[in-house]
A = this chain, B = another copy of it.
């Protein structure tokens, strides 16, 4: 089969490699119909994720069709249309049983293994371990493009941003960073009944996207952004929930500065450096700070919302490619700003 293979920092190729085979009775082989590229894939290509080694097939988000099933697989059959999520779940370790497959102990304490610890889904075929506890059947009448972004970005915004942030009807929510994951947080905060959503970003075009995804007001990042936003809240005390969706010290500081006494800062951003936490001011503020990798446990809920047309996740897909053009898709996604791109949809 053909696959997108990592060959060390800066090196990738679309090449022929042997087809994946069933290894465990609980595996299935999925024929990939549609996939996409994640910001994490770009990090891997920079060499930032040393666990990814030469020869690894990249990619952890796909919609596909079951091609072959292991001997222990009873509830999936060849021909089933499935969503392959970023996080696999063994279903039996203490973390999976507590609905936290993000930290699945069967795979070394991390549920993200596709395109990381095992071969991924930017390929014609992919082996999926723990298939019955990991895959989601796609409801009838729902297209690939409608569910593709439920593999990672939408549950990340919803679980790590909105749910961890405790967004409830009436809340005022600020989202710092209007890239794809920030937009996912905006879309699902709207769904959860936020009364006001304020997006912050350095880029005007991203702030334009923020409005399309449900932000009520937008603020250009800068020295006085926090003050501007706090001034917009009805009592001038700050927002109920601030969602950090970038991963830099400056954006983390902004999120913390925005939140009212009793509020929550939900960090989604992937950080590469420590931050200074002003606990000498925060200890008395009764705030909560949360962090997290997505679990994917809300994917069934999101599938239901997609099927009933409460969420339109196709909005994330700004550019389309054929699977054979995946190198071009990487070029566009890596220069998303230039192309006004959010996510790419790559079809077989």
Contact = CB atoms under 8 A, between A and B. Distances in A.
A345 B272 CA distance: 50
A102 B286 contact: yes
B92 A91 contact: yes
Contacts of A25: 25, 71-72
Interface string A184-213: 000010011101100000000000000000
B235 A94 contact: yes
A109 B262 CA distance: 12
A158 B168 CA distance: 13
A62 B170 CA distance: 22
A348 interface: no
Interface in A220-278: 234-235, 237, 247, 252, 261-262, 267, 269-278
Nearest to A237: B109
A335 interface: no
Nearest to A159: B286
Interface in A77-120: 91-95, 97-100, 102-103, 105-106, 109-110
A286 to B, nearest CB: 4
Interface residues of A, number: 81
Contact of A277 (B110, B158, B276, B302): B276
Interface stretch (A4-12, A53-61, A304-312, A326-334): A304-312
**How many copies of this chain sit in the oligomeric assembly?**
4
Contacts of A99: 97, 99
27 contacts: A24-B72, A25-B25, A70-B72, A72-B72, A95-B262, A97-B133, A98-B262, A102-B261, A102-B284, A102-B286, A103-B261, A103-B286, A105-B235, A169-B191, A169-B192, A170-B298, A195-B305, A195-B307, A195-B308, A247-B283, A267-B279, A270-B284, A274-B279, A279-B291, A286-B290, A286-B291, A286-B292
Interface of A: 24-26, 70-72, 74-75, 91-95, 97-100, 102-103, 105-106, 109-110, 132-133, 139, 158, 164, 169-170, 172, 188, 191-193, 195-196, 216, 234-235, 237, 247, 252, 261-262, 267, 269-280, 282-293, 295, 297-298, 300-302, 304-305, 307-308, 310
